[in-house]
Amino acid sequence: MTDLSHYIDGKRVPGNSGRFADVMNPATGEVQARVPLATREELDDAVARAAEAQKGWAATNPQRRARVMMKFGALINEHIDELAELVSREHGKTLPDAKGDVQRGLEVVEVCMGAPAMLKGEYTDNGGPGIDLYSMRQPLGVVAGITPFNFPAMIPLWKMAPALSCGNAMILKPSERCPSTSLRLAELLKKAGLPDGVLQVVNGDKDVVDAILDNDTVQAVGFVGSTPIAQYIYGRAANNGKRAQCFGGAKNHMIIMPDADLDKAADALVGAGYGAAGERCMAISVAVPVGEKTADALRERLIPRVEKLKVGPYTGGDDVDFGPVITKQAEERIRGLIQSGVDQGADLAVDGRGFKMQGYENGYFIGPSFFDHVTADMEIYKEEIFGPVLSQVRAETYEDALKLTMDNPYGNGTAIFTADGDTARDFAHRVNVGMVGINFPIPVPLSYHTFGGWKKSAFGDLNQYGPDAFRFYTKTKTVTARWFSGIKEGGEFAFKQMD
């Protein structure tokens, strides 16, 4: 059994609270490590040290900071297999998917190599007689990142790379279920040249999160996780005068129009619905075919595809499509929701509950399930299941499908599959969801765009990564300057002779 640590001032430091959380291997159900849960005192100490370290880091010119990101990017590439293995071992996702997790984080590091260009200020020459205005973007100081279990590399990288390249120090509080990748990333950042103390990884649970929210030195909080916690953190952070961007849960709908290529739509739905066991905030969990004929034809294509999916541990070979879910509680919750769907009259066309993984009987495996004839009043529609369950809600018309999507309280991602540009354009324009895919099921924007949902999927007004991140992690100072005349008038212009 390994005891994990925190990462403070450039080294791994054991916790001293005496409290630990078990880090499970979701494929076997065994405890593989214990992660220390920090106390308020440990957090306050880490923040105080970070505040000291931040002064020198903020004074380091932006280009030198960007060079740390360049080396960090190179090191992530060099260690990508090792990082993916760390992700898979604690999360359970397949290795190719774990590599994608690292890769989508690395892409944000790559954008941060250009941070100096993003940090440039603005200038107005002669805004009044003899008056110039200029603005500069300055770091906030110490900021915090609080991240979920489902992307153990990507989301910590989305937080740390922009925050650090803007000249801040960061307290990173990763998910207690998958902490090892963040600890390793912190080591790689040190190797890349980040001064000690500028990134502190403090492990813990609600206690340490509350300590972050109450610490007066912490200026901003970037959170990703479930909606109730996002809303709680947003409220408490704002109440304590902090800047906060808190990204929450999702229920992503994909509309399938009668003119769509249904084979392509079915392939897309299977990948987006069941990849990573449905534990993605951009997973498609609701398919909305328009018209009975489309729904029947889609169902016919989906069932064999879903039945063919291969579930297994990440060590199970290249043909494994998805792994176990994260905890026993998650597994039981998902099973309970599937049962509620049956009880409430949905048509369980593929039932994954009977799946057993030979040799991994204690792992948290659930086979893929597919419900047809789901309606908006059912629990399986209302809840974010976060498991390998896809629901089909049949819509009569495009307007009904659009309304269903828009009435849903979540607004992270959505997609439409159609051959008609006009319908696609109308959908993209009208839908009240932050990220839209057109014939594209998981529209996670590239790293130089920006990521964020609407409605109950995000609290705060700026997105994560891309240009918004540089705004979130800096404050603007604007200077209005006037210089009274000096040497030009009344000055002595003759070359002074020696007396």
- Residue 224 Cβ vs ligand NAD, minimum distance, rounded to whole Å: 5
- Residue 281 Cβ vs ligand NAD, minimum distance, rounded to whole Å: 3
Q: Name the active-site residue from 112, 178, 246, 281.
A: 281
**Residue closest to ligand NAD when measured from CB atoms:** 225
Q: Which is nearer to ligand NAD, 139 or 156 (CB)?
A: 156
Contacting residue, 175, 200, 294, 414, with ligand NAD by CB under 6 A:
175
- Residue 237 Cβ vs ligand NAD, minimum distance, rounded to whole Å: 11
SS (H, E, C) the chain: CEECCEEECCEEECCCCCCEEEEEECCCCEEEEEEECCCHHHHHHHHHHHHHHHHHHHHCCHHHHHHHHHHHHHHHHHCHHHHHHHHHHHHCCCHHHHHHHHHHHHHHHHHHCCHHHHCCCEEEEEEECCEEEEEEEEECCEEEEECCCCCCCHHHHHHHHHHHHCCCEEEEECCCCCCHHHHHHHHHHHHCCCCCCCEEECCCCHHHHHHHHHCCCEEEEEEECCHHHHHHHHHHHHHCCCEEEEECCCCEEEEECCCCCHHHHHHHHHHHHHHHHHCCCCCEEEEEEECHHHHHHHHHHHHHHHHHCCECCCCCCCCCCECCCCCHHHHHHHHHHHHHHHHCCCEEEECCCCCCCCCCCCCCCCCCEEEECCCCCCHHHHCCCCCCEEEECCECCHHHHHHHHHHCCEECEEEEECCCHHHHHHHHHHCCCCEEEECCCCCCCCCCCCECCEECCEECCCCECCHHHHHHCEEEEEEEEECCCCCCCCCCCCCCCCC
Active site residue 246: no
Contacting residue, 72, 149, 274, 465, with ligand NAD by CB under 6 A:
149
Contacting residue, 76, 250, 320, 380, with ligand NAD by CB under 6 A:
250
Q: Determine, following the binding rule CB under 6 A, whether residue 374 of this chain makes contact with ligand NAD.
A: no
Contacting residue, 386, 398, 417, 470, with ligand NAD by CB under 6 A:
386
Q: What is the per-residue binding string for ligand NAD in 68-107, x denoting contact by CB under 6 A?
A: ----------------------------------------
Size of the site for ligand NAD (CB under 6 A): 26
Contacting residue, 176, 321, 372, 468, with ligand NAD by CB under 6 A:
176
Q: Which is nearer to ligand NAD, 142 or 290 (CB)?
A: 142
Report 433-462 residues binding ligand NAD (CB under 6 A): 453, 457
Q: Which is nearer to ligand NAD, 139 or 453 (CB)?
A: 453
- Residue 240 Cβ vs ligand NAD, minimum distance, rounded to whole Å: 14
Report 181-240 residues binding ligand NAD (CB under 6 A): 205-206, 209, 224-226, 229
Contacting residue, 44, 90, 331, 384, with ligand NAD by CB under 6 A:
384
Residues that bind ligand NAD (CB under 6 A): 146-151, 173, 175-176, 205-206, 209, 224-226, 229, 247-250, 281, 384, 386, 412, 453, 457
Which residues does the annotation mark as catalytic? 281
